[in-house]
Structure 1
Amino acid sequence: MPPLKLFSLDSGADFARKVADALGELLAEHEERDFVDGEHKLRPLDDVEGADVYLVQSLYSDGEHSVNDKLVRLLFFIGALKDAGAARVSAVIPYLCYARKDRRTKLRDPLSIQYLAGLFEYTGTDCVATLDAHNLAAFENAFRCRTLHLPAQPLFVDFAEAQLRDDDGPLVVASPDVGGVKRAEAFRQALGERLEREIGSAFVEKYRSADQLSGGTLVGEVRDASVLIVDDLISGGGTIRRAADAMHKGGARRIFALASHGQFCGDALEKLGRLPLEAIAVTDSLPQADGSDKLQVVSCAPLLAEAIRRLHEGGPAVELSL
């Protein structure tokens, strides 16, 4: 079996160390230099010839680097690892950028997820693993290299069980829009099996034109129920705000918001904190700052570590995608 090497860019090192700790490995050494003209260079300092390499890095904008800067750095580093003789390079990307642009909704729209996949394939990436892609079918169809999709559902089932263990009232799992109904239904079934009880379902109609949201009609019965609103991403917070408002007006007794990725752009978290939400739970696929006493972070590092372990040892990694 080839040696396992675990890398991260400097900007993702804090999270990657959590994955390394869960895996029982150390992060491999690398050099990352920025030049005065804005260009940069990355190279592995550890020997990677013949190694099975995993590069852990979420792709998002922060105060130092744009999402495009991080993407280029990641691609160049993958190329450097392949040139240095790595037998296999897997990109483990908890939050995958450009995954939301997966279909044409207007004339001459781009298919950004396909172009992104082409960039990874060109640099020789052997596998791309991510947590809760926005559109699973589009993610899997865009890449010609191996993909591994890791749902955060088991993490949130554990969270929900802890919150609802002593709740004897009706329970409902809701989608904040029609597009997320399948995700919410899968979660409803998994939670029902865990709690061994019937759980209702609901969704909220939503229409989007550019950045404008409309709709808000609740479909389903939530009166006197504890409601879990399940989504893949909270960005500006508008979708969750509309859904929480609809649940509150529908008579829900308790309301929770669960999302795999918490971007919380601008003052989104502050605004969500003023809603009748008991808790807002997200994973640490994106770094979370202290901004609300309602925010609860569920770590996905152990899940990613287990995925890396199974990929390295020859499986069965695919079972984690169910």
Structure 2
Amino acid sequence: MIVIGGTSSKKLAQDLAKELDSKYVQAQVSRFPDGECYVRIEEDALDDDVIVVQNTHPDNNLVEMLLIQDAALGLGAKSVTSVVPYFGYSRQDERFNKGEALSAKVMVDIMGLTSTRLASVDVHKPVVLDWFAGKTYNISAAHCIGEFFKDSGIDLVLAPDEGALDRAAAVAEAIHAEFDNLEKTRLSGEVVRMAPKNVDAKDKSVLIVDDIISTGGTIEAAANQLKVLGAKSVIAVCTHGLFAKDALDRLRKCCNAVYSTNTIENEVSVISVAPEIAKVLRD
């Protein structure tokens, strides 16, 4: 197999090539003065199965991925696998209001134009992958996150809500810690208490695990409340670190540390999910 990296997840693409013991090729990408994308793969031929690693968020990354895949096919790639570390638009899996676009299906359909396999990490709504005609993989980052925190002294792993409890449980199992989910209790019209549902956080080192941190409002509120409840320390970690609107700066003020995986490259994306991606792609 040959791994081709786009501009959005270069480090992850390189890690994946090492895990698979495969050749790595960095696609050459530039922009014309009018903003259109230019892609070239500087190889004579690609007579092998090709894996293209590139996010679909923001929109320009989607166009780049499609052009990289077409360039690979033009050089004779036997097949193309789309590895989309962060699958943008996956949250719009139905028409919530009349006249809306079914965004997730559109993205999945587009992926099927140039690839026969689709792999992504912690897709917000995994059901959207069912629209893909070929083989799909929704890869969990929990094991990689658990390995990263194995010797960090974490006592309690928390999910931000009950729906994310399975992720917290998987991380907790890897580091032999308790787990629970946060629960909101409205004390008045303006005051909301956020605390672990079943476990006391007092004097414990707490790890909050989420799939996506965008504006960070939920994590910020939870960290502040956990400190009030007597938590010894609070660390936040997520699979996809979008960190919009200065979220990372705000979270650093209320958390002892903030980390993310390398599905989206940023200054705290120190946890590689390449080992888990490689496991499924070897099949």
* TM interval, short-chain normalised: 0.7 to 0.9
| Contact kept in structure 1, 2:11 and 2:262, CA below 8 Å | no
Distance 1:36 1:142, change over 3 A: same
Distance 1:106 1:8, change over 3 A: same
**Distance in 2 separating the partners of 1:48 and 1:6:** 14
Q: What's 1:37 paired with?
A: 34
Alignment of 1:52-201 (within 5 A): 52-60=49-57, 67-121=58-112, 123-136=113-126, 138-164=127-153, 171-188=155-172, 190-191=173-174, 194-195=175-176, 199-201=178-180
Which of these residues, 257, 260, 265, is aligned with residue 282 of structure 1?
A: 260
Q: What's 2:226 paired with?
A: 247
1:175: how far off? 1.5
Alignment of 1:260-279 (within 5 A): 260-275=239-254, 277-279=255-257
| Contact kept in structure 2, 1:178 and 1:205, CA below 8 Å | no
Which of these residues, 273, 277, 280, is aligned with residue 300 of structure 1?
A: 273
Deviations 1:14-53 (A, max 9, x none): 4423333343333236554533333333343324454201
| Contact kept in structure 1, 2:234 and 2:256, CA below 8 Å | yes
Deviations 1:73-116 (A, max 9, x none): 21132233334432210011211111222344444443311110
**Distance in 1 separating the partners of 2:2 and 2:166:** 36
- Please give the secondary structure, in 1, of the residue aligned with 2:101: coil
Q: What's 1:64 paired with?
A: none
Letter in 2 for 1:177: D
How big is the alpha-carbon RMSD for the aligned residues of Structure 1 and Structure 2? Answer: 2.8
| Contact kept in structure 2, 1:216 and 1:246, CA below 8 Å | yes
| Contact kept in structure 2, 1:58 and 1:93, CA below 8 Å | yes
Q: What's 1:292 paired with?
A: none
1:12: how far off? 4.0
Consecutive unaligned residues of structure 2, counting only runs of 5 or more, are none
User: Is 1:21 aligned to residue 18 of structure 2?
Assistant: yes
Deviations 1:218-255 (A, max 9, x none): 33332333322110011111121122123223332222
Structure 2 length-normalised TM: 0.84
**Distance in 2 separating the partners of 1:97 and 1:162:** 33
Letter in 2 for 1:145: G
**Distance in 1 separating the partners of 2:262 and 2:22:** 20
Deviations 1:227-286 (A, max 9, x none): 2211001111112112212322333222221211111123111111110x2322211211
Letter in 2 for 1:299: S
Alignment of 1:193-272 (within 5 A): 194-195=175-176, 199-205=178-184, 215-218=192-195, 219-221=197-199, 222-272=201-251
Consecutive unaligned residues of structure 1, counting only runs of 5 or more, are 61-66, 208-212, 290-294, 316-322
**Distance in 2 separating the partners of 1:42 and 1:181:** 41
**Distance in 2 separating the partners of 1:127 and 1:107:** 32
Q: Percent of aligned positions with the same letter in both sequences?
A: 28
**Distance in 1 separating the partners of 2:100 and 2:228:** 37
Deviations 1:280-314 (A, max 9, x none): 2211211123xxxxx57212234334444x1xxxx
Distance 1:8 1:236, change over 3 A: same
Letter in 2 for 1:180: A
Distance 1:104 1:225, change over 3 A: farther
**Distance in 2 separating the partners of 1:77 and 1:200:** 42
- Please give the secondary structure, in 1, of the residue aligned with 2:244: coil
- Please give the secondary structure, in 2, of the residue aligned with 1:163: coil
- Please give the secondary structure, in 2, of the residue aligned with 1:162: coil
**Distance in 2 separating the partners of 1:71 and 1:296:** 21
